[in-house]
Chain A
Amino acid sequence: MSLHEVNPSVKAFAVVISILILSVFFDPITPLVTILWVVTVTFIFGRVSFKKWLLLFAPFLFIAIIYVWSTMLFPRLQAGDSVIWEWGFLTLTAEGFQRGVSLGLRVLSFATLSIMFTLTTKPTDFLLSLMQQCKLPPKLAYGIMAGYRFLPLIKEEFQTLQNAHRVRGVARARTIPEKVQQLKRYVIPLLAGAIRKAERTALAMESKGFTGEKNRIFYREITVSRIDWLFFILMISAVILSAFISWKLGYLQYYNREL
């Protein structure tokens, strides 16, 4: 079994439900166990390149560290908190530490789940599946698909534009009014180009008989099988199991607007 073959809609559903369950609790153990589980699944069943994974994970890790840091050192002090360490205006309490770690791991658990989905799902498959399983209107789905194809083209066009302006001898913008002027110079041709491309693609799609009609016959049928639901059940059970472990260890807490 490979994560790439799991039905994209079911996979997305599993990720969303897992995140919803996780958000009910607020403790360090539930997200930690979930993270371990998701990372294991991602690498064993997803055969994802570690480098790519790390590239997506790094920004979340950074946010998590900042969260932990600020919650740890600037806690909402309550009577009965046990102080571990104190220096000037900085106070570290055991409760503050736990809250910080819980928050950080919570962010990371959401991140690992989303990254698992992103790295093992082709955008086209996801859209095809959304149309076939979730009745997403084809007009919207094919619109998104065409837009997705445009992104690299627009980036290329932006670079060309920058070069073209360099050749014309436009000095690099320094002051704010200059920057506004420069933005205007870029935005108009970029938008004009994007609109023209979009119009052309729309025309080409229409010329092949695309009307946005809902009952299409799809060349590539995306199916839902028992394995997909097995994946769904496994994922949800793993999250519930994490919460159960946390409860056994005596850490489990409901989320109570801590942040």
Chain B
Amino acid sequence: MSLYDQIKAEQLAFSYEDSNIFTELTFSIEKNQSVLLLGPSGSGKSTLAYCLNKLYPEAVDGELKGSITFEGRNLDDFKPGELNQKIGIVFQDPESQFCMLTVEEEVAFGLENFHVPRAEMEAKIDRALEWVGLQAEKKTTIHTLSGGQKQKLALACVLVLQPEVIILDEPTANLDPLSSSDLVKTIARLKKERPFTLIVIEHKLDDWVELIDRCLVLDSSGTILFDGTLVQCFGEFAPYLQKEGIWLPKVVEAGITAKNAGMYKGERLPLRNHELLSGLEDSVAFLKKENKTISKKEPILEVSDLHARGHLKNINLLIHKGELTALVGANGSGKTTLSKCLAGLLPLMQGEIHFLDVPLSKWKEKDLFQRLGYVFQNPEHQFITDSVYEEIAFGLEHRATALDNLEKIGLEKHANAHPYSLSQGQKRRLSVATMLVHEQELLILDEPTFGQDANTAREIMEILDEKSGAVFMITHDMELVDQYADTVHVLDEGEIIFSGAPESLWDNHEVVNRARLKLPFRKQLQKDLVRRESHVTT
């Protein structure tokens, strides 16, 4: 046992409504360490984080066994609220973690709780806002902030209390690629200036690699699968993690692919791009991307000169039969609004949308939605019956085919369950499947892989990739765009600033920067390779 163990958990088990979330967790975290908490969805990562902070089990009817100590003191000995000053937490959803109206009031909220004298408050608030770069927004009302700004505010609210431990529970889940990197950079800078213990739960790992020293991995049954250094975790154990459905940094994933293909000769899997490049025998061959060829280019949906509520203007776009089209853009650029317009769910102010050569306004709603599907961000919104089977069978003429469809998405065992009782990934698969049963010719999806673990995300993308009709999806994930999309449209402040193949988007630096996008891993690696070679030759 190290002297510096700040948090210690022994034989920790948590059960909720008769099911075990996690069991027999024993670990300790040293002061000022940066720990990455990994696990497939449903493995109890968030629950564990809330237990460390003493929010659980009080907030739910759960039962916590075992003991947690913070700096040698058992958590039970802390007065209500006392521990929260030492352990701060930033949550995933930027919408529901605030209770005040303006930025300064929200930051002050924590100070008020801890009886900080009023005379000291203002200076502390100013300093916290300066740390995260929100000084200019001090008097702004919170709901006008962007998603990235809201997460920075959430961080400021925690920082202002100067905690010794900061827990981040998927802080970048709702952010666009650039805002995510931005937040990670902010945290890295703050940690350098003023050390604190960091516990991160996260899916998008690439930005974090430089910051993390240690990984703690839970498996789906809630026991510790791995506990050790980041290098060991991804360098050696990554293939096991991949099997569990745990997200890996893109470079590690590429390393596994290269190794399986016999192209990578490094001793352990690479953690950084240059390590991958030096381990590759033939980097050019590895980076080659098979170009999809599409024979017929028949339009299925045609948008001309569309203007709509919010700030969409001058939108012209074509969706072709059999293509997978991606829509990307920063938080608040109007992606969801546009996708809803395409499905006829929002009125247009100007312009026309033709679906199968007929104006959208001329379609009868019932016929339209037999041929055009829309998958909402929250799968629960789309459930209308009391059982999984009925969800699929709803509106089908031949109800017998429903079982086949259930088998396809691997839910046949849950046919009689209530849709709400499914896990997050199962709910998502079901909501996509309900939109596939009519063999709709066009399927529109609003971030279909959002919040899913790696396995579910892959399954969903495979379903979409195999689908015969056209697919139009909103996403923040540039890897998906690079891997699956035939065409990509970039939305920036309500205007389409780019339409074309992903490959030509990656070469257009101006658009990539303006729309707060990031290059996919493959392109970034290519760039690194070029830089490396020019470095060698000079």
Contact = CB atoms under 8 A, between A and B. Distances in A.
B and A form one assembly: yes
A164 B376 contact: yes
Nearest to B111: A219
Interface in B419-475: 420, 434-435
B53 interface: yes
Interface string B133-177: 000000000000000000000000110010000000000000000
A166 B374 CA distance: 10
Contact of A209 (B50, B96, B161, B366): B161
B59 A208 contact: no
Given A142-B99, A204-B96, A206-B59, A217 B117 contact: yes
A192 B380 contact: yes
A169 B89 contact: no
A208 B118 contact: no
A66 interface: no
Nearest to A125: B101
B96 A211 contact: no
B228 interface: no
B381 interface: yes
Nearest to B116: A217
Interface stretch (A28-36, A87-95, A194-202, A236-244): A194-202
B62 interface: no
Interface residues of A, number: 45
Interface in B85-132: 85, 88-89, 91, 93, 95-101, 104-105, 108-118, 121, 125
A161 B382 CA distance: 7
Name A's interface SS: helix
Contacts of A218: 112, 118
A219 to B, nearest CB: 3
Given A163-B340, A166-B345, A204-B91, A145 B55 contact: no
A196 to B, nearest CB: 8
Contact of A165 (B117, B378, B384): B384
Contacts of A209: 81, 84-85, 110, 113-114, 161
Interface centre among A168, A207, A218 (most CB of B within 10 A): A207
A226 interface: no
Nearest to B394: A168
B420 A200 contact: no
B99 A201 contact: yes
Interface of B: 50, 53, 55, 59, 80-81, 84-85, 88-89, 91, 93, 95-101, 104-105, 108-118, 121, 125, 157-158, 161, 340, 343, 345, 365-366, 369-370, 373-374, 376, 378, 380-384, 394-395, 420, 434-435
Interface of A: 124, 142, 145-146, 149, 153, 157, 160-161, 163-171, 185, 188-189, 192-193, 197, 199-211, 213, 215-221
Given A164-B376, A204-B99, A207-B88, 6 more contacts: A160-B378, A167-B369, A209-B84, A209-B113, A219-B108, A220-B105
